[in-house]
Structure 1
Amino acid sequence: MADIKTTTDTPTDRTLGIILVSSSAAVFALTGVLTKSIHADPLTITCWRGFVGSILISLYVLWRRHRSGGQESLRLGWRGWLLAVEGALASIAFISAFKFTFVANVAIIYATAPFVTALLAWVLTREPFRLQTMVAAAVSLCGVAVMVWSGFGTGNLFGDGLALLMTIGSALYMIMVRAFRDTPVVWAGAVSAFLLFVLGWFITDPLAVSPRDAVLLVTFGSCFALSSILWTEGARLIPPAESGLLGSAEVPFAIMFAFLFLTEIPPAASMLGGAIMLCAVFAHAGRDWLLARSRRTEPNLS
Structure 2
Amino acid sequence: MTATDTAAQHRLGMVLVASSAGVFGLAGILTKSIDADPLTITSWRGLIGGLLMSAYVLWRRRGAGGESLHLGWQGWLLAVLGTISSITFIAAFKNTYVANVVVIYATVPFVVALFAWLIVGEMFRRQTAIAAAICLAGVAVMVWSGLGGGHGFGDGLALLMTCLFALYAALVRRFRDAPVVWAGAVSAFLGIIPAWFVADPLTVPPASIPPVITFGFTFALAVILWTEGARRIPAAEAGLLGTAEVPCGIFFAWLFLAELPPAASLIGGAIVLAAVFWHAWRDWANARNAAMPSRLIEKESQKA
TM-score (norm 2): 0.94
| Mapped pair 1:85 → 2:87 | no
Say how many residue pairs are matched: 294
Go from structure 1 to structure 2 and tell me whether the alpha carbon gap of 1:210 and 1:124 turns closer, same or farther (over 3 Å shift): same
- SS of the equivalent of 1:97 reads helix
- SS of the equivalent of 1:152 reads helix
Alignment of 1:1-302 (within 5 A): 10-66=6-62, 68-69=63-64, 72-298=67-293, 299-300=296-297
TM-score (norm 1): 0.94
Go from structure 1 to structure 2 and tell me whether the alpha carbon gap of 1:259 and 1:145 turns closer, same or farther (over 3 Å shift): same
Native 8 Å contact 1:51 1:197 kept in 2: yes
Report the alpha carbon displacement of residue 193 of structure 1 after superposing the two structures with TM.
0.2
Report the alpha carbon displacement of residue 201 of structure 1 after superposing the two structures with TM.
2.6
Report the alpha carbon displacement of residue 291 of structure 1 after superposing the two structures with TM.
1.0
Q: What is the rounded CA distance, in whole Å, between the counterparts of 2:125 and 2:244 in structure 1?
A: 23
User: What is the identity, as a one-letter code, of the residue corresponding to 1:243?
Assistant: A
Report the alpha carbon displacement of residue 202 of structure 1 after superposing the two structures with TM.
3.0
Q: Structure 2 unaligned runs (5+)?
A: none
User: What is the identity, as a one-letter code, of the residue corresponding to 2:260?
Assistant: I
Report the alpha carbon displacement of residue 70 of structure 1 after superposing the two structures with TM.
5.6
Report the alpha carbon displacement of residue 296 of structure 1 after superposing the two structures with TM.
1.8
Q: What is the rounded CA distance, in whole Å, between the counterparts of 1:220 and 1:240 in structure 2?
A: 27
Q: What is the rounded CA distance, in whole Å, between the counterparts of 2:173 and 2:237 in structure 1?
A: 18
User: In percent, how many aligned pairs have the same letter?
Assistant: 63
User: What is the identity, as a one-letter code, of the residue corresponding to 1:45?
Assistant: I
Q: What is the rounded CA distance, in whole Å, between the counterparts of 1:158 and 1:33 in structure 2?
A: 19
- SS of the equivalent of 1:129 reads coil
User: What is the identity, as a one-letter code, of the residue corresponding to 1:249?
Assistant: A
Report the alpha carbon displacement of residue 125 of structure 1 after superposing the two structures with TM.
3.9
Structure number with the higher helix fraction is: 2
Report the alpha carbon displacement of residue 210 of structure 1 after superposing the two structures with TM.
1.4
Q: Which moved further from structure 2: 123-132 or 268-277?
A: 123-132
CA deviation vs aligned residue, 1:180-233 (integer Å, no higher than 9, x gap): 111100000000000001222332111111112111101100000000000000
Q: What is the rounded CA distance, in whole Å, between the counterparts of 1:71 and 1:172 in structure 2?
A: 25
Go from structure 1 to structure 2 and tell me whether the alpha carbon gap of 1:70 and 1:118 turns closer, same or farther (over 3 Å shift): closer
Native 8 Å contact 1:9 1:238 kept in 2: no
Q: Which moved further from structure 2: 291-300 or 174-183?
A: 291-300
Native 8 Å contact 2:14 2:241 kept in 1: yes
CA deviation vs aligned residue, 1:24-50 (integer Å, no higher than 9, x gap): 000010000000111101010001000
Report the alpha carbon displacement of residue 124 of structure 1 after superposing the two structures with TM.
3.6
Report the alpha carbon displacement of residue 117 of structure 1 after superposing the two structures with TM.
1.1
Go from structure 1 to structure 2 and tell me whether the alpha carbon gap of 1:124 and 1:70 turns closer, same or farther (over 3 Å shift): closer
- SS of the equivalent of 1:39 reads coil
